[in-house]
Amino acid sequence: MTKKVIKNHAALIKHLTAWAGTFLLLFFLRNQPQLIEKVYAQKLYPLIAVINRWIMHFFSFSVGDLLYFTGLAYLLYQSIQLLLNYRNPGLYAKQISGFLLKTIWIFYLSWGLNYYRQPLAKLLKLSKTNYTATQLISVTDSLIKKANHLQIQLTQNDTLAVEVPYSINHILNLTVLGYQKIEPYIHVKYMVPCLKVSLFSKQISYMQTSGYLNPFTGEAQVNKFYPKAFLPSIASHEVAHQLGFAPENEANFLGYLAATHHPDLYFKYAGTIDALYYFLIELKRYDSSIFKQDLKKINRGILKNYRQAQQFQKQYRFPINFSKTYDAYLKLNKQKSGIRSYNEMVSLVIAYYYQKK
C-alpha cells in the first residue's frame, strides 16, 4: 500500500470521525434541556445574538441572504466539478462534505441549539397546556369579538378589509415596541433590533414563506409581497426567533403576545386575526358545525383579509411542495409535529388566557 493511499485512507477516517462525533454530540445535547437552557440559551446565545445583530444593523440590506446565495453557488460549483471528475471524486466530495459539516456546526452554535432548550411553557409557568373543547370554543369566541372590534375601529365599516397605511420599513421599526410591552412577562429584553426585507421575496413567495430568521447572521427577514395586514404579526414572530425561541409554536405565541400588546391598533389587529386563524383551524378539526357557526360571527372585512392571504398562496403556487422539506427539518430538530407545530400555539394562548383570568 503506497503512502498516498494510506494518507487518503487516514483523511477519510478522520472525516468520517468528525461527522460521527458531530451527530453523537447533537444527540447528547438534544436530551439535555436544562444544560442547554442554563449554559447556551441564558448565557452564550444572548451574547452571540446581540453581537450579530449589532454588526448586521449597519447594513440596510440582508447580508444573510447574500451568504445563502454564495453558499448555494459554492455547493453548485463543487457538485458540477464532482460530476465532471467522477473518476477521481475524492477532492470535490471532501470539499462538499467539509463545507456542510462546518455549516452544521455554525448553525447550531449561532442559533440552532435553541431547539433543545426548555419549553417556553415551563419558563413562563404555563402549567396547563392541555385544553378542553370548552376552553377552545370560549377563547375562539373571545378572539372573534376582539378581532371584530379592532376591524371596526380601523375601517369604520365591518365589510372593509383592513389596509395598513405604513411602509414595510416603518412596520419593522415599530415591531420592537410590542416586545418592550411584554418584557416584564417573558423576562427577555430585545436589544439592537435588526429586521429587514428579504432580498429573495419573490423566490420565497413560491415557497409560501412569509418570513424567516437567518441563523448565521441573526437577521430577521419578511416577505415584502405578503399581504401587509399580516406583516406586523409576521415581524413579531421572527423577533421571537431572534430572542432564541426556536420552536414555531413558541414563536407564534410570543409574536401574538407582542403584537396584541403593541400600542398600535394595526399590530393588535394583525396579532389577533393571525391567532384567530389558528384557532379556527383547530375548531374545524374538533367540530365543523361549530366552526361554521363561528365563521358567520366574523366581520366580512376580516374574511377579506384572510382571502388576501389565500390569493397570495394561489398566485405563487409552485409544483414542488417545499412544506414537506421544512416539515422534515422541524421534526429533525425535536418538533415532533413538524409543520403542525405552528398550530400548537393554540394551547399556549389558551393557557395564557386562563392564567391571566
Cα–Cα distance, 25 to 101 (Å, whole number): 13
Query: Which residue, among 229, 220, 225, 212, has the nearest Cα to 172 in the 3D structure?
Result: 220
Is the separation of the CB atoms in 11 and 214 below 8 Å? no
Cα dihedral 262, 340, 124, 127, rounded to 10, equals 130
**Amino acid 5: pLDDT:** 47
Cα–Cα distance, 357 to 355 (Å, whole number): 6
Cα dihedral 78, 19, 219, 184, rounded to 10, equals 170
357 residues of the chain, pLDDT tens digit each: 455 545 555 666 777 888 888 999 999 999 999 999 999 999 999 999 999 999 999 999 999 999 999 999 999 988 888 888 766 766 777 888 889 999 999 999 999 999 999 999 999 988 766 888 899 999 999 999 999 999 999 999 999 999 999 999 999 999 999 999 999 999 999 999 999 999 999 999 998 899 999 999 999 999 999 999 999 999 999 999 999 999 999 999 999 999 999 999 999 999 999 999 999 999 998 889 999 999 999 999 999 999 999 999 899 887 666 566 656 656 666 566 555 555 688 999 999 998 876
Query: Which residue, among 232, 229, 234, 276, has the nearest Cα to 251 in the 3D structure?
Result: 234
User: pLDDT digits over 120-159, tens only?
Assistant: 999 998 876 688 889 999 999 999 999 999 999 999 999 9
Is the separation of the CB atoms in 147 and 303 below 8 Å? no
Angle (nearest 5°) at CA 300 between 236 and 283: 65
Torsion over CA: 125, 130, 131, 132 (sign):
negative
Determine phi and psi for 193, rounding to 5 degrees.
-60, 145
Residues paired with residue 196 on neighbouring β-strands, in sequence order: 221
What pTM was computed for the model? 0.91
**Amino acid 130: pLDDT:** 80
User: pLDDT digits over 10-50, tens only?
Assistant: 666 777 888 888 999 999 999 999 999 999 999 999 999 99
Is the separation of the CB atoms in 274 and 256 below 8 Å? yes
The residues, any chain, with a CB within 8 Å of residue 335's CB and separated by 6 or more, are 115, 247, 248, 341
Is the separation of the CB atoms in 129 and 347 below 8 Å? yes
Looking at residue 212, the DSSP 8-state letter turns out to be E
Instruction: Please report which helix (H) or strand (E) contains residue 220, including its range.
Output: strand 220-222
At 103, the amino acid letter reads: T
Cα–Cα distance, 357 to 351 (Å, whole number): 10
Biggest alpha carbon distance in the chain?
Answer: 84
The per-residue DSSP string of 162-195 comes to P---S-HHHHHHHHHHHHHHHHHHH-----S--E
**Amino acid 1: pLDDT:** 47
Q: Is 2 helix (H, G, I), strand (E, B) or coil?
A: coil
